[in-house]
Amino acid sequence: MSKDQSKQKRAGAERAAILLMTLGEAEAAQVLKHMGAKDVQKIGSAMAQMQNISREEVMVVFEGFSNELESQTSLGIGADDYVRKVLVNALGEDKASNLIDRILLGHNSKGLESLKWMDARAVVEMIRLEHPQIIAIVLAYLDADQSAEVLSMLPENMRADIVMRIATMDGIQPAALSELDEVLEKQFAGNTSTGKSTSLGGPKVAANIMNFIEGTKQNSIIDVVRKTDEQLSDRIQDMMFVFDNLIDVDDRGMQELLRTVPSDRLLLALKGCEPGLKEKIFSNMSQRAAESMREDLEAKGPVKLSDVEAAQKEILSVARKLAESGTISLGGGSSGEQYV
């Protein structure tokens, strides 16, 4: 196979996989952490399927990347266009889009937007002495994973209060957001004209942040919220982990859950779940039980969506209780815990 043929045959995800695999684990991890989950999954799948990659193919990827770097100067294509072209060629249009937006927005960002490009510890230093409501607005504005990291670094006695403030936040007036933006921008010695967004906060935003909190801290925050407002606690938990997220439960945990859930409630819940989760559940049953469940599912006529959702909610409740007792792990968050 010639170099040109090899270059044409490899898809964007495969070229990205080859490039990352040659960088080493630490460097590849630094690149991947800036990508969305779907992009990481696609490139990870390409890595897993890589076999017998020839030196020639590796050199083709290197040369393609090197040629892009060498062929452009400050006298040619604009910086933004150059970044966009290199990333699209390396990752493909779909995979590169999110990363391109973050990079091209990031280098010109100011005020609140600038915080998205700061280390979590630096954000904590900037906001830790502010009023909890200001901190809540800032965390509602940031991406959920970054907000979770910042929240984890704040004093323990502040965390639950801030999560409740985020969950009960019903937007913010543009003038107030603009004023906060200006205050932050002054700390960066610049100017800003942003402040258009008003739809900050709410239970879903709080739930997204909580999904990234380490397990012990997560439980502690939820316990405090529950003591203050049980309904709000339930709303946040309902949004933190939905039925389709059960696909992240490992096989041992899934088998434990299936032993606890009544078969009639499981059958009803399966009427509204994703095919991938159905197969995950069937694969953790005995062959006879799985075949019987498939037949019952096919034979069952239309059911009310409200009934399906109620059955799924019951199963999620069982799953949470098993997780709280340490019997299973729901996954999804970034617990950082090690298993021995």
Q: What's CA 58's distance to the chain center, in Å?
A: 31
pLDDT band at 190 (very low <50, low <70, confident <90, very high): very low
The closest alpha carbon to 137, from 114, 117, 154, 162, belongs to 162
- CATH number (domain holding residue 265): 1.10.220.30
Instruction: Provide the pLDDT for residue 335.
Output: 40
For residues 155 and 12, the model is more confident at 155
Number of alpha helices (DSSP H) and beta strands (DSSP E) in the chain: 21, 0
Instruction: Provide the pLDDT for residue 108.
Output: 46
Residues 118 and 85 in one domain: no
Token duo for residue 278: 């159905």
Residues 229 and 147 in one domain: yes
In this structure, is residue 124 part of a structural domain? yes
| Global pTM value | 0.43
Residue 168: which residues within 8 A CB-CB, separation 6 or more?
201, 232
Q: What is the largest CA-CA distance in the chain?
A: 69
pLDDT band at 68 (very low <50, low <70, confident <90, very high): low
Could you give the CA distance from residue 79 to residue 101 in angstroms, rounded to a whole number?
Answer: 14
Of 238, 269, 290, the residue at which a domain comes to its end is 238
Region 28-43: mean pLDDT is 76
The pLDDT mean for the chain works out to 75
Residues 131 and 223 in one domain: yes
Percent of the chain past pLDDT 90, that is, above it, reads: 11
Task: Please check the confidence at residue 63 and state whether its pLDDT lies above 60.
Answer: yes
Could you give the CA distance from residue 30 to residue 288 in angstroms, rounded to a whole number?
Answer: 46
* 154-176: pLDDT as tens digits: 988 889 999 999 898 877 767 66
Residues 190 and 268 in one domain: no
For residues 108 and 125, the model is more confident at 125
Residues 92 and 139 in one domain: no
In this structure, is residue 95 part of a structural domain? yes
Of 209, 238, 267, the residue at which a domain comes to its end is 238
Could you give the CA distance from residue 334 to residue 77 in angstroms, rounded to a whole number?
Answer: 40
Region 142-147: mean pLDDT is 84
